Amino acid sequence: MTVTTVFEDAAVVWILRFEPARLRRMMRAAEARLFDVIVAEDMDRIFRDQGDYHAARKRLDFLGIGIHTASGKIGRLEGSLRALMGEMFVENLIVSRRRGLEAVVARRPPRRRTRLWLCIVRESPAC
């Protein structure tokens, strides 16, 4: 197996994962038949949700391009389940983070508003 193209997501925020522009670039490369197999650490490094997975999987199957992860080749059923679990994990993470932030804000004592007065003094030549 020879690596022909690398699509990395090292600088992308984890929740955003493989943003749509990168996914489109990968799919254009697939259409151009630049590779035969997609190899990723895990499926959630490529697809953000079920919609992304199913749309890409349908096209990749037509093109004869397989998806492999560290655990091996991803089949249709396993891919669907993992896409669903990944999407649910992200939704739960968002809800729990929001709930945690709301708790932090609720515990914080109310701020005393300080007023800042800014006076502009113009010096006149007569001074």
CB 17 within 8 A of CB 48: yes
Using one digit for the tens of pLDDT, what is the confidence trace for 75-122?
A: 889 888 988 988 888 888 888 888 887 777 777 776 666 665 655 566
Q: Give the domain extent around 103.
A: 20-107
Per-residue pLDDT, 125: 60
In a domain, 115, yes or no: no
Mean pLDDT over 40-47 rounds to: 81
In a domain, 36, yes or no: yes
**Burial tier of 83 (Cβ tally within 10 Å: 0-12, 13-18, 19+):** buried
**Domain count of the fold of the chain:** 1
Rounded distance between C-alpha atoms, residue 119 and residue 47, angstroms: 55
Residue 42 in domain: yes
Apex CA 11: angle with CA 50 and CA 28, to 5°?
55
Query: Is 8 inside a domain boundary?
Result: no
> How would residue 42 be classed by pLDDT, with cut points 50, 70 and 90?
confident
CA distance 26 to 4: 12
Handedness of CA 87, 93, 95, 98 (dihedral sign): negative
